[in-house]
Amino acid sequence: GWCHPCPYNYPGAENTDEEDAVKSGCEYGMNEDYFWYNVDCKGRQRNKGLYIADRDLNGNSARHTRQNPNGNRRGFECPEERDYYPYWHPTQWIDMAVLVSDESWCDYYVSQSQNTEAKYYCYIEDAGPGNEAPIDEQTCQANQGTWTKVDSFQDMYPDMDIAAPDCMMASFTEQNHLGFTRDVADYSSYTWSIPQTAQPMECVVRLRYNISTADYGSMDGFQLDNETGVLLDEVYGSGNNCPDSTTED
């Protein structure tokens, strides 16, 4: 995906003196926005429907995942957003392509992309560590929050012809061959056409490698229609984001 610095319509998401100070003191470029990490990620509940194996997560925010149980910070990336795709919460990253080993998942991945699908979040004015905002509409409203829409990137930038991401089979690569593929006797690659922009823009490109291993049925939690076998649209609805059976704090 490629990153817009701050596409949110959060109240208070505009640059602050604190954020300007961070930017002016940066020796290196920032990929994610300071607000994205310090307010949104730290101030939002983690998705308790995610598999955490035998991990004891030392916190309840989106910073705490199976791979990052202590909520350690790396730049301003949000660990939960980094580790999972497609993401159910608004994101700063515009999807370029999804390369998969099973094309039957493509329709689902493409339909859930914020490129063409609006996302929602819970705005609570004083949300933060220890008072994280819920991630489903029902709990948000029960806590006097505002369930807020964030437009798709397609609607945010109508002049850029943003479409759904490409989804295609990834090339087969041998272990320890540094990306050299069996398919075409060359290195793995993807050809991307840079979108047209009305104004000059700086662009950051991110490549992610997410893997689901065969020793755990990582897709078993997804819900299928009993008659058609099609994934249900509400797979990331409120009933699945925070299931009643979850007991972690």
* pLDDT given at position 64: 95
Distance (Å, rounded) from C-alpha 124 to C-alpha 142? 11
Q: Give residues with Cβ within 8 angstroms of 8, minimum separation 6.
A: 35, 36, 40, 90, 150
Q: What is the mean pLDDT of the chain?
A: 78
Which residue, 22, 7, 19, 174, is CA-closest to 89? 7
Distance (Å, rounded) from C-alpha 217 to C-alpha 151? 33
Kindly report whether the global pTM for this prediction surpasses the value 0.85. no
Distance (Å, rounded) from C-alpha 223 to C-alpha 20? 44
Block mean pLDDT (10 aa), the chain, length 249: 46 54 59 83 91 87 93 91 90 92 88 94 90 94 94 91 92 78 78 83 83 59 60 43 39
Give one DSSP letter per residue of the chain, joined into a string. Answer: -EE-S-----TT-S--HHHHHHHHT-SS--SS-HHIIIIIITTBB--TTS--TT---S-SBTT-BTTBTT----TT--HHHHH-SS-SS--SEEP-EEEES-GGGHHHHHHT-TTTS-EEEEE-TT-BTTBPBPSSHHHHHHTT-EEEEE--HHHH-GGGT--PPEEEEPPPB-TTSTTBBSSSSSB-----PPPP-SS-----B--------TTS-TTTTS-B-TTT-PBPGGGGSHHHHS-TT----
* pLDDT given at position 239: 37
192, two tokens: 């991307």
* pLDDT given at position 4: 47
Which residue, 81, 72, 93, is CA-closest to 135? 81
* pLDDT given at position 36: 83
